[in-house]
Copies of this chain bind each other. A is one copy, B any other.
Amino acid sequence: MGYRLGGRYVEGMDHLGSGLSFAEQINVAVRSARVFSELSPQESGLLRGFLEVFRVRASEPFIFEGDEGSFMALVLTGQVSVYKQFDSATPKLVASVGAGKTLGEMSMVDGEPRFATCVAAEDTTFAVLDRKGFREIIDKQPVLASKILLHLVALLNQRLRQTSAKLLEVMEGSEKAVKK
């Protein structure tokens, strides 16, 4: 056991092999993952060729806040806890993510530091698409790439709108607090 993924050696992680060997599990997860929605069965098959599958044991972190990101993960089985460090306090649980959900899409695309740390809450398997693989999809399967990118844009749009709305709300709240 033990594997180096995205520049980090993770003790409790195994590389299970190419996505091509996990057709059924990946198909099921792809169907419920937003960034992969509207893929035809044939496109889902193409995508599998660019994925690698890993298993990580319970309580093992495998994405680390602040790291330079180079891959996204599609959870196939299990559960992942997402922790974020605020100030210098203990990291806070900000999300819990199960099968058919994706993690770290943003960092895959732009290599910016990871926004949060992901820890396997139980034994978990996930499929990885790294930046190199994604670039290959763009070059070799541009129709598939543009479908994925379109959903990434929609996902980011939604998050940006939610975050902007939240920001306005908090700012208005704090302005009122100051006025009092």
Among B87, B147, B157, the residue within 8 A (CB) of A172 is: B87
Interface pair B112/A153, CB less than 8 Å apart: no
Given contacts A153-B153, A157-B112, A174-B177, contact A86 B168 (CB under 8 A): yes
Q: Is the interface of A mostly helix, strand, loop or mixed?
A: helix
**A166 proximal to B (CB < 8 A):** yes
B-contacting 9-mer, from A24-32, A44-52, A137-145: A137-145
Q: What is the size, in residues, of chain A's interface with B at 8 Å between Cβ atoms?
A: 36
Q: How far is the CA of A3 from the CA of B109 in the complex (A)?
A: 39
Neighbouring B residues of A146 by C-beta, 8 Å:
138, 142, 145-146, 149
A110, A153, A161 pick with most chain B CB within 10 angstroms: A153
Contacting residues of chain A (103-159) with chain B, CB-CB under 8 angstroms: 106, 109-110, 112, 115, 138, 142-143, 145-147, 149-150, 152-154, 156-159
**A170 proximal to B (CB < 8 A):** yes
Query: Nearest Cβ distance between residue A180 and chain B, in whole angstroms?
Result: 10
Q: Mark A167-179, 1 if CB is under 8 A from B, else 0.
A: 1101111100110
Query: Nearest Cβ distance between residue A58 and chain B, in whole angstroms?
Result: 29
A residues sitting closer than 8 Å to B (CB atoms) are: 86-87, 106, 109-110, 112, 115, 138, 142-143, 145-147, 149-150, 152-154, 156-161, 163-164, 166-168, 170-174, 177-178
